[in-house]
Amino acid sequence: SGSDEVILIVDAVKKQFRGLKALDDVSLSVATGEIRGIVGPNGSGKTTLFNVISGLYKPTAGRVEFGGRDMTNVTPYRLSRAGLSRTFQNLRLFGDLTVRENVLVALDRSRTLDSWQYVLAPWLVRARDRRLRAEADAVLERFGLAEFAGQAPKALPYGIQRRVEIARAVAARPRLLLLDEPAAGLNGEEVRQLGEMVRSIRDSGVTVVLIEHNMGLVMALCERVTVLAGGRVIAEGTPAHVAATPAVIEAYLGD
Ligand code: ADP
């Protein structure tokens, strides 16, 4: 397999907080078009790994390559421009804006006009706003959120808010989408819908990496799973393979 089939490489990454090795020599690579699961007990370094990949944390050592380019010390903003989107464990929606506006925020960032156009070419601004609104509505429609477009997320059920957050991340047209515990707090039916949503996102050409505790979802969704424990990769492979790995079973005892 050629290097253009690999979208993400994490190479010997360490992240140390004072004395604590949150990531201790973590390496993994994700194939373009894959749905990869990241699992592991609490405190094993999963979110820290996402924070390093998305540029929020500078690794103590090692490198991160995204889309064939070294992105080790690149800012979150530039990574997002390069096609990386993510969601957070705790929702980070603008609770008082509407659902549509939350999606517009993500669209807007990728297409800013020059400041002179706001003054001298207001018709360009209006045309762009119409285009963006149509695009936002298409995203909402695609994910079954059209009926909530004018409502504030904070007034909506938690499961819908989760879906809005993922829709917003996808609206930025990423090549790689990182989802941090997307199923947390969802009921069985919502988890099933989430699974369909993630699969349809992947089928549209987006590579997905998700941190997830819901093993049913991981089993149903992920081609490969990377298991972290104590900041290290202790197993990797198909869900069935890692579930049968003694070191994995051991790591989960007492979690
Ligand atoms: P997980 O997501 O697997 O639950 P985390 O990546 O959140 O694990 O945390 C891994 C370890 O790193 C934990 O011991 C956690 O307390 C520590 N840690 C994470 N972020 C920070 C930080 N900003 N400062 C200090 N310690 C941190």
Q: Could you tell me if the CB of 255 is within 6 A of ligand 1? A: no
Q: Whose CA is nearest to atom 25 of ligand 1?
A: 17
- Set out the domains of the chain in order of their start, with CATH numbers: 1-83+174-255 (3.40.50.300), 94-172 (no CATH)
The pTM for the full model equals: 0.92
Q: Which residue has the tokens 């079973």?
A: 249
Q: Could you tell me if the CB of 55 is within 6 A of ligand 1? A: no
Q: Write down the mean pLDDT value for the chain.
A: 91
Of all atoms in ligand 1, which is nearest to the CA of residue 41? 3
At residue 172, what is the residue type? Answer: A
pLDDT in tens, 7-36: 999 999 999 999 899 999 999 999 999 999
Q: Could you tell me if the CB of 44 is within 6 A of ligand 1? A: yes
Measured distance CA(21)–CA(121) in Å, rounded: 54
Instruction: Give the confidence band of 111 by pLDDT, cuts at 50, 70, 90.
Output: low
Instruction: Give residue 44 CA to ligand 1 midpoint distance, Å.
Output: 8
Q: Could you tell me if the CB of 15 is within 6 A of ligand 1? A: no
Q: Could you tell me if the CB of 48 is within 6 A of ligand 1? A: yes
DSSP for 153-215, please give it: GGGS-HHHHHHHHHHHHHHT--SEEEEESTTTT--HHHHHHHHHHHHHHHHTT-EEEEE-S-H
Write out the H or E segment, with its range, that includes residue 22: strand 20-31
Closest by CA to 220, choosing from 244, 190, 192, 189, is 192
Residue 108, pLDDT > 70, answer no
Instruction: Give the confidence band of 249 by pLDDT, cuts at 50, 70, 90.
Output: confident
Other beta carbons within 10 angstroms of residue 18's beta carbon come to: 4
Instruction: Give the confidence band of 2 by pLDDT, cuts at 50, 70, 90.
Output: very low
pLDDT in tens, 53-107: 999 999 999 999 999 999 998 999 899 989 999 998 877 888 789 999 999 988 8
Q: Could you tell me if the CB of 226 is within 6 A of ligand 1? A: no
For the question of an ipTM over 0.95, the answer is yes
Measured distance CA(47)–CA(45) in Å, rounded: 6
Q: Could you tell me if the CB of 43 is within 6 A of ligand 1? A: yes
Instruction: Give residue 148 CA to ligand 1 midpoint distance, Å.
Output: 35
Mean pLDDT, residues 157-177 taken together: 94
Q: Whose CA is nearest to atom 23 of ligand 1?
A: 17
pLDDT in tens, 33-46: 999 999 999 999 99
